[in-house]
Structure 1
């Protein structure tokens, strides 16, 4: 599978430019409580299969986790179901910009 990826700094540029982005953070509650990317939607990986109806199939979605592993799993799940997704490489460990708490 050829995973479509996006670098954290490219996501940050899009956020700063107020692009109409869909970022889905698949980390657990306690991780997200420490800060997430501004405007990101929080759907823990384990809940994703039951919450697909919350994800607009006409938009591109950027998947985010701590290091890129869980978001890769989320990417595969959504990609198989026909969603347009990218995986943010390096996850929040590589995120250098502001977070919202």
Structure 2
């Protein structure tokens, strides 16, 4: 499984396709601007919502759930990368977030 730090992801800029696999209430609380919400609890059913081309960066709160989703996506033929540290590290490092 490929991984990326939040610093390296932020360096990619606004063009990075981020899929956030946290649940709806977590996503509503804090999220990366432009990230697509596809909760892990319904991830398999929502696979058509995952961009089929290009690299998909998968994020959760700290990296555990996103690792599961990344492995699943890789098994389905996607170019998926786990974001280590998740939204917690993203926010802690001062990268932009939307709240509420």
How high is the TM-score relative to the length of structure 1?
0.88
Q: Structure 1 regions of 5+ residues with no counterpart?
A: none
User: Stretches of 4+ moved more than 4 A in 1?
Assistant: none
What is aligned with 1:60? 55
RMSD across aligned C-alpha pairs, in angstroms?
Answer: 1.1
Question: The residue matched to 2:68 in structure 1 has which SS?
Answer: helix
| Distance in structure 1 (CA, Å) of the matches to 2:31 and 2:85 | 14
Question: The residue matched to 2:56 in structure 1 has which SS?
Answer: strand
What is aligned with 1:73? 68
| Distance in structure 2 (CA, Å) of the matches to 1:46 and 1:76 | 15
Q: Structure 2 regions of 5+ residues with no counterpart?
A: none
Question: The residue matched to 1:33 in structure 2 has which SS?
Answer: helix
Question: The residue matched to 1:82 in structure 2 has which SS?
Answer: coil
What is aligned with 2:78? 83
- Provide the aligned length of Structure 1 versus Structure 2: 96
| Distance in structure 1 (CA, Å) of the matches to 2:76 and 2:38 | 17
Which residue, out of 31, 46, 70, partners 2:26? Answer: 31
| Distance in structure 1 (CA, Å) of the matches to 2:11 and 2:72 | 26
Which residue, out of 5, 8, 11, partners 2:6? Answer: 8
How high is the TM-score relative to the length of structure 2?
0.89
Which residue, out of 73, 96, 99, partners 1:98? Answer: 96
